[in-house]
Structure 1
């Protein structure tokens, strides 16, 4: 068996290559030579359409061309009559998401999914491309570059958000000989680099700048960058194949093809060799100038992959790759590597040959390496019988090295089962292990889902421990789209029966139903969604705002409640909004809290609509208070008018209810006070009245000697009793040191506050002589004594205290004088005398 495996290889220098048949194509009457062909990477779909630049015998085909989409095994997936406007089809190509992009001559780009459905988001390169016409186009995994007939270069760098940019406009007499690209992930700038062969040199367009590489290897008929972007393979006008560095500074290898005609295709096979397809042969040139040729009796299309090349013909699909090192070590003729010896040992063991023991002993301490080699070689194989033999050899070897991890064998078996499952012709995705690692398993499952291979995708997800939710949701969406004739309740029951064993988002399925016009089905499905965070947004988008609000309130999630409230606010009229929230305390309170800070006018209307006029009045007072913080307002500006009107309007609203009589009266008095204060500031030219109290206003008037206004304000508000008025006037007159007016005021009538305030006011201003006038009028001995003490007159204070015959007063007065020994002795002598008299 080892000899037969190695016999299929081709040697190029010290490396081996093998070409394996993957599929016999299931299609019929397909002639690739007369068609444009686009093949997706990673074993993806094949798109074919008749090439209108070639003369083709129509046979029984219709005159109108058709766009055909096949699996890699040749099974037809979709057939679409091609009637797209835009002139001639320039190029087709698949994106990383397996979206087919068809670039037309006028710059329009039509997009199709794997089922041939035209996607609605049409892409266009703009008016300039339409005017000039596209001459050449390159489509890579995530972008498009095109060259117009006027030598302008345009690019769509991201097909996820297809916005075109113009890179440059070349001033050339003749168009470039050929064009190639280096993808963004391989460039220093992170943007695509466009290589244009111009005369004998190469121009590099990068982000709008043009760089002449200064090389003289041209004119070039073909160029293609290596998979990692480090090298460029070039076919020259005299038939030489050159491999140069991507900056064209160094030539790595040179090979004379003996033909000046450019090949139909020039691509890389991995990183080791370059393939040239011309007429009936594929020439493979290795890194050291060694070569081999494969001859075909029918046209082929070369499809580059990360680890090799798929070769598509009318009848078969092949895969050409460098033989992996572990496979070479096991199956190369005469190999004595540990892996080869382990494989031989297992072969003897399977045949019940005693040489198995001798062979396994020869492996010795290298058994772990041998087991690893067999496992790795099994992962690289397409043939399941060879996979099985290699894995059995690995398991056989593992019995002799207990420390080798079981997980390694188990994971490889699981991966091989995945690969064999998708390689089946009915699935038609011929992935290798290396391609699967690059693509990743989640992306592979996503591709299966997009191709409606839901059962296989679910089984693979469960088998590999991944969540099948995405697959199940997509399946449900596909069922909803397809089952147009099934009534909503019946379809809902069918979906629930299938979905009950999975944890899925019913809201996502309901959203798909709603987008497909099945509102009732969406509502039925939403009832089974346990997460309010998923229910509420969809209900609002469906126009079920009040139901969504109820669900949000029930969840207790204030963010959801706010989300629904804002939606209601934007979509409903004020009356409808009010009706929706007024009987829901949580929603109402949250709305009030938000609107109080951000939308006071809206909140006023809301309170008015629900009959809470006093709450509107409160908001007006808050607004008036906010205006009082405005420095312009505080200076007595005309803004004072609007502020007063706010307070008056609040008073009017409070007056509608007897429960708020106090608030109404307070607002009325505040408005009247502000008017008076504003008038006073206007008369005096001093901004000292507004926003002070009635008492402070009266005191300020007295300080300014405007006694008439002070009296008017007192009479106007009737909130300043006689005692407070006397205190205010006494303090104000003392403050301005108008002692004559103060004395006159004391004599108008007997002061209701007594003469003690006169004394304190004078002493506070440091006028002891003025204070004596009023101390003498004090009738209470205790007050009189204390007044003398405050004035610093110890002898007089002691005499008054002696007359009162109260030793306690004497003790307090002594403390008043503190460290004064003379005063202390005086008070002690008087207290002693009183004590003797009492005894």
Structure 2
């Protein structure tokens, strides 16, 4: 009998059953859909209504103020607002994919509302041209709209995420089209929207951004009055001027169905029901037509709105919400009258089992080989039911059959139970989202959670997330932000406790993001308390800065050890505070101070000098000045007697004075003083010699260069000025004279007095210049016989070397010298003889 009552609700359209269960009795009062403009969102979404100002209506107890009201699918009001928008009549209203309500008025202004009837700023516009021409009709799709103006021009917004109006090609028509439909960009070859216009001729115009085409020539016998494109963009259902339903391909290249309708008057609404049937609605009748067979008629004594879904059509009336859809195959196999399918017998077996009839076992024996398919069909049928008692019975039947299956997937029933619990929870009138299983799978659980939290159904969203094993962070975050916005009267400390109680439920949740929201809502103290709980410094520090907690941010940044974060805080404070206050802030933070100094050494010398002066580090200022003098010296303009040397010398002298103020830097002070004097002398030398070869060379190089240039007086002046020792003076002059090969001057110099460095350097200088003859002048004067022997050996005089070595009585030296003359047999024998003699004398 149960089967009979279930199947009795169905209607047969050719060879397929359809049913129209009532999902809700509408909870609203005094709503007559004929008096309102209505926008219904797909996927069981909200319903927006506003009084249609183009109709003269009797005001019940309703306010004269025009209100936009938003209800859930069960007719429970979610929100309302007074409509106060200029710009002319409301032309069109629809919901986008993310449940934003789009309202288009006559002058092309677009107002956007969220589900709480709050206006989303800024308002959009269809453009200046559209504003001047006036909008007369709109067609919407998932995330876009097309508007036609009084001048028959088309304007389009392809995506509200990037709301840029585009003017489409001029269709070149003089009168408004009878009907308009859109093929969404995702279904067109070009990837741009295509607008179909039903005009007076026997063809349809297809308008794109860059052109207009005529379609259906020779196919249509006259103008089309109504058009609607299928969900997948492949088919076009239209109502012709002579009362026929015509289903063609969307490019109007071929006819799929052509059926006579019962009225030549165009229907008020036309909609696809899934992909197998088309609905046409006149003011008292809903006609459902399929490819063959008699149509199904549903009579209504009140106005209805058709809301197409992916697998059927929701029908909204003043009193109810119904869902017209094709009966799933699994349901047909179980409940068709007289069905003997395995699923029907299994369902029947449960009934017998409940009544303790032996017929249960008989049924199971009949379908033993097909039991897995029967169980699967019962599970599938349960998923397509809105009535929870029928869901339960079907799942019990599946569970009963599964007990006798060895190879059936055990978790299929649990999965379906889980899914149905979610669907039943959101379908309850309080929530009012009546999703079928197919819609739920298309929508995805994460989008459903998003819709629940946007509707402030946080508890249900949290429970579903937990139940489905999804991340709860999104829900808790949204709840926390909403709580802050709505709790203006609750003290910060109390609200903090409430928030922390929930935020701690989710590991890794961003306290910083909630704190940012609190700050945005003007609750800076609460934000500061919240950010304390953020474990990630990378999120905590920037937020502390944005809420004006710079000192805390600096502490947290330095504690993290992340130099990038410390620099972020430093630059922020640097911009906001006076220099002295900034210096005081960083002085007590070693890491921050050192990082600031490192940066400022490279890019901000003057500022760093101020810092060192404020902290009494005069020697550091002196080092900076000295460095600046070197930087100035690198300037190419600082050569050739340039006046830039003056500022350099002043910088070094200033550094000298600063070094002198600290006892620990007496050496640096003396060095700076000498450096300044040397630079002065070098600068003068460059001016007099007109050669840029002195500045920044050492004292020794300066003396050497003076001698090379023949300026002995200048060389002597440098020697005296810098107290150059005699030994150093002799070394420098010897090698300078040998460089310019002035051997006479060298000899004269050697005879001025006994050289304090001896004659060895004279010998070295001559040998290096490859002047053996000159070297011979000085070798005999070398006092140490060893050095004399080695000098003779270097210019190849073996006998003299041997004589000098024998005077030294150094056997090792003789051996070494012998190796030097190893190529010369005679010389080698001399060294052998002398060594033998030396050995003999030693033995004695």
TM-score, normalization by structure 1? 0.91
**Which one of 704, 707, 711 corresponds to residue 702 of structure 1?**
707
SS of equivalent residue, structure 2 residue 271 = strand
Q: Does 1:41 align with 2:42?
A: yes
SS of equivalent residue, structure 2 residue 542 = helix
**Which one of 587, 611, 617 corresponds to residue 616 of structure 2?**
611
State the alpha-carbon separation in 2 of the partners of residues 125 and 606 from structure 1: 58
Q: Give the 5 Å matches for 1:528-607.
A: 528-597=533-602, 599-607=604-612
What root-mean-square deviation, in Å, do the aligned CA atoms of Structure 1 and Structure 2 show?
3.2
State the alpha-carbon separation in 2 of the partners of residues 9 and 230 from structure 1: 28
The verdict on how the C-alpha distance between 1:574 and 1:744 changes in structure 2, with shifts beyond 3 A counting, is same
**Which one of 324, 329, 336 corresponds to residue 325 of structure 1?**
329
**Which one of 321, 345, 348 corresponds to residue 344 of structure 1?**
348
Preserved contact between residue 234 and residue 243 of structure 1 (Cα < 8 Å): yes
State the alpha-carbon separation in 2 of the partners of residues 575 and 100 from structure 1: 55
State the alpha-carbon separation in 2 of the partners of residues 163 and 175 from structure 1: 25
State the alpha-carbon separation in 2 of the partners of residues 176 and 322 from structure 1: 33
Give the structure 1 partner of residue 429 of structure 2: 425
Q: Give the 5 Å matches for 1:762-801.
A: 762-801=766-805
State the alpha-carbon separation in 2 of the partners of residues 308 and 315 from structure 1: 20
Range with bigger deviation, 791-800 or 736-745:
736-745
1:33-57 superposed Cα distances (whole Å, 9 cap, x missing partner)? 1211111221111100011222322
Range with bigger deviation, 571-580 or 355-364:
571-580
Q: CA deviation at 1:811?
A: 1.3
Q: CA deviation at 1:136?
A: 2.8
1:391-434 superposed Cα distances (whole Å, 9 cap, x missing partner)? 11111111112332332211210110111111111111101111
Q: CA deviation at 1:62?
A: 2.7
1:227-283 superposed Cα distances (whole Å, 9 cap, x missing partner)? 222333344444444444444444444444465544332332223333333322233
State the alpha-carbon separation in 1 of the partners of residues 718 and 711 from structure 2: 11
Range with bigger deviation, 127-136 or 210-219:
210-219
Give the structure 2 partner of residue 130 of structure 1: 131
Give the structure 1 partner of residue 97 of structure 2: 96
Give the structure 1 partner of residue 744 of structure 2: 740
1:64-92 superposed Cα distances (whole Å, 9 cap, x missing partner)? 31111111101112222211122221221
State the alpha-carbon separation in 1 of the partners of residues 588 and 48 from structure 2: 60
Give the structure 1 partner of residue 826 of structure 2: 822
State the alpha-carbon separation in 1 of the partners of residues 367 and 605 from structure 2: 86
State the alpha-carbon separation in 2 of the partners of residues 769 and 282 from structure 1: 130
State the alpha-carbon separation in 2 of the partners of residues 640 and 239 from structure 1: 102
State the alpha-carbon separation in 1 of the partners of residues 13 and 815 from structure 2: 123
Give the structure 2 partner of residue 443 of structure 1: 447
Q: CA deviation at 1:730?
A: 2.5
Range with bigger deviation, 86-95 or 166-175:
166-175
1:197-241 superposed Cα distances (whole Å, 9 cap, x missing partner)? 5665555555x4225255424744433332222333344444444
**Which one of 719, 724, 731 corresponds to residue 735 of structure 2?**
731
Preserved contact between residue 703 and residue 732 of structure 1 (Cα < 8 Å): yes
State the alpha-carbon separation in 1 of the partners of residues 716 and 197 from structure 2: 97
Give the structure 2 partner of residue 755 of structure 1: 759
Preserved contact between residue 253 and residue 289 of structure 1 (Cα < 8 Å): no
Preserved contact between residue 93 and residue 100 of structure 1 (Cα < 8 Å): yes
State the alpha-carbon separation in 2 of the partners of residues 220 and 675 from structure 1: 101
The verdict on how the C-alpha distance between 1:161 and 1:335 changes in structure 2, with shifts beyond 3 A counting, is same
SS of equivalent residue, structure 1 residue 328 = helix
Preserved contact between residue 154 and residue 168 of structure 1 (Cα < 8 Å): no
SS of equivalent residue, structure 1 residue 792 = coil
State the alpha-carbon separation in 1 of the partners of residues 640 and 156 from structure 2: 63
Preserved contact between residue 91 and residue 104 of structure 1 (Cα < 8 Å): yes
State the alpha-carbon separation in 2 of the partners of residues 75 and 797 from structure 1: 122
State the alpha-carbon separation in 2 of the partners of residues 414 and 282 from structure 1: 36
State the alpha-carbon separation in 1 of the partners of residues 830 and 7 from structure 2: 132
The verdict on how the C-alpha distance between 1:680 and 1:496 changes in structure 2, with shifts beyond 3 A counting, is same
Give the structure 1 partner of residue 368 of structure 2: 364
Q: Does 1:666 align with 2:667?
A: no
- How many residue pairs match? The answer is 837
The verdict on how the C-alpha distance between 1:680 and 1:53 changes in structure 2, with shifts beyond 3 A counting, is farther
Give the structure 2 partner of residue 115 of structure 1: 116
Q: Give the 5 Å matches for 1:194-343.
A: 194-197=195-198, 200=201, 201-202=203-204, 204=206, 208-212=209-213, 214-216=215-217, 217=220, 219-257=223-261, 259=263, 261-287=265-291, 291-343=295-347
The verdict on how the C-alpha distance between 1:837 and 1:489 changes in structure 2, with shifts beyond 3 A counting, is closer
The verdict on how the C-alpha distance between 1:309 and 1:608 changes in structure 2, with shifts beyond 3 A counting, is farther
State the alpha-carbon separation in 1 of the partners of residues 151 and 674 from structure 2: 83
Q: Does 1:471 align with 2:495?
A: no
SS of equivalent residue, structure 2 residue 119 = coil
The verdict on how the C-alpha distance between 1:78 and 1:678 changes in structure 2, with shifts beyond 3 A counting, is same
Range with bigger deviation, 21-30 or 444-453:
444-453
Structure 1 unaligned regions, length at least 5? none
SS of equivalent residue, structure 1 residue 570 = helix
The verdict on how the C-alpha distance between 1:721 and 1:378 changes in structure 2, with shifts beyond 3 A counting, is farther
